[in-house]
Structure 1
């Protein structure tokens, strides 16, 4: 009996972006995390850098909800679509 391998993507789908305030200034130290997804998503978080940037990855293409919380407890949320052709860029505005 010959087994057919199941396709498996070892490469994560990258979601990169920036957290900004309403004036477009970067927000450092915001916690960025997933709250929902069209497929299972990792229970991980990233902290935005001094320039507000962050990078997260998911194992599958699909639509996910990305949220962030600033050190002073402001929250923002946005849908993002992870695709295989390029990293997804997102701007979270607090």
Structure 2
């Protein structure tokens, strides 16, 4: 697999009002195989990109700087997420 063939999960982290959340930590917490224990940080526009090792189902969690959290399950095919770009909404739980 060449770097161009690596499936990617791309998306945006937003708050309950749909505004982008900058500097949110985005990590894969469940995958079809082992994944490194690393997180991506969102940019000012709330966007992130993560590469994945293989097609399958992934659970991605975002944590905003103020500790709001959100999660989404993404089905990744050989070309990337089946749904296209994903959105993770973060909010306070409890």
TM class by shorter-chain length? 0.7 to 0.9
Change (3 A) 1:82 1:42: farther
* Contact 1:42-1:58 within 8 A present in 2 as well: no
Gap runs ≥5 in structure 1 = 1-8
Alignment partner, residue 3 of structure 1: none
Query: SS where residue 17 of structure 1 aligns?
Result: strand
Gap runs ≥5 in structure 2 = none
Aligned counterpart in structure 2 of residue 92 of structure 1, from 80, 88, 92: 88
Counting matched residue pairs gives 86
Task: Normalising by structure 1, report the TM-score.
Answer: 0.83
Larger radius of gyration: 1
Aligned counterpart in structure 2 of residue 69 of structure 1, from 41, 48, 63: 63
Deviations 1:58-85 (A, max 9, x none): 1100001100100001111111111113
Runs of 4+ in 1 over 3 A off after TM superposition: none
